[in-house]
Amino acid sequence: MPLHPMTFAITILHQSNHHGTVAAAVLGGVDNIWIKPGSKVLYIGAAAGTSVSHVSDIVGPKGAVYAVEFSHRPGRDLLGVAKMRTNIIPIIEDARHPLKYRMLIGMVDTVFADVAQPDQARIVALNSHHFLRNGGHAVIAIKASCIDSTAAPEAVFRREVSKLQSENFKPLEQLTLEPYERDHAVVIAEYRPNKKKKSKD
């Protein structure tokens, strides 16, 4: 049975000292993480696969998690996790170059990004342009100090949201992750929103 998002959050809190961004967002009260049974998810910054495995539980056997990780040591662990879960497709590549793995991924419903890189917004945009369906969603963890350690976190968050808006994202929610993560926020945005037809008067 697919794992309910709140169960997912509580499970991560019990299993790890690193709470996990999705878990912190759920516990912080975010309305929707856009990951549900049957979802196709592109997970950028998969690390060793702990959080990925829980997303795998949520999407269930009819869903898929395309897990991208560039670092080889956690990548080896990710490969081990994927051997036990047929709905995880591990991709050991640099997410800055989505063309390298374009043959492995179909269109996805949700892009989840947890990468501590200054060019994170660009990474999310590049992958979304290739793989995220119109009207799909991005869930983006923003670590302020990894983007600009000299600016106030709130200023960094605003700047990153502005970058996403310039790439056809419509921000839906923004939540700081205190007390679970310091100077972190999660931004949830819709990609190329489907324009509603205007009703005739």
- Choose among 95, 112, 110: nearest CA to 25: 112
Query: Can you give the C-alpha Rg of the chain in angstroms?
Result: 16
For residue 37 the two structure tokens come to 């049974």
Query: Nearest 10 degrees: CA dihedral of 120, 125, 127, 129?
Result: 180
* pTM for the structure as a whole: 0.84
| Tens digits of residue pLDDT in 96-147 | 999 999 999 999 999 999 888 889 999 999 999 999 999 999 998 888 778 8
Please list, in sequence order, all residues whose beta carbon lies within 8 angstroms of the beta carbon of residue 162, skipping any fewer than 6 positions away: none
Q: Helix 21-28 and helix 50-59: axis angle, to 10°?
A: 60
Q: What domains does the chain contain, in order, with CATH numbers? A: 5-191 (3.40.50.150)
- How many angstroms separate the first and last alpha carbons of the chain? 47
| Tens digits of residue pLDDT in 85-110 | 999 999 999 999 999 999 999 999 99
Cβ–Cβ < 8 Å for 26, 20: no
Q: Count CA atoms within 13 Å of residue 179 on its CB side.
A: 0
| Tens digits of residue pLDDT in 37-67 | 999 999 999 999 988 988 999 899 999 999 9
For residue 124 the two structure tokens come to 């999310």
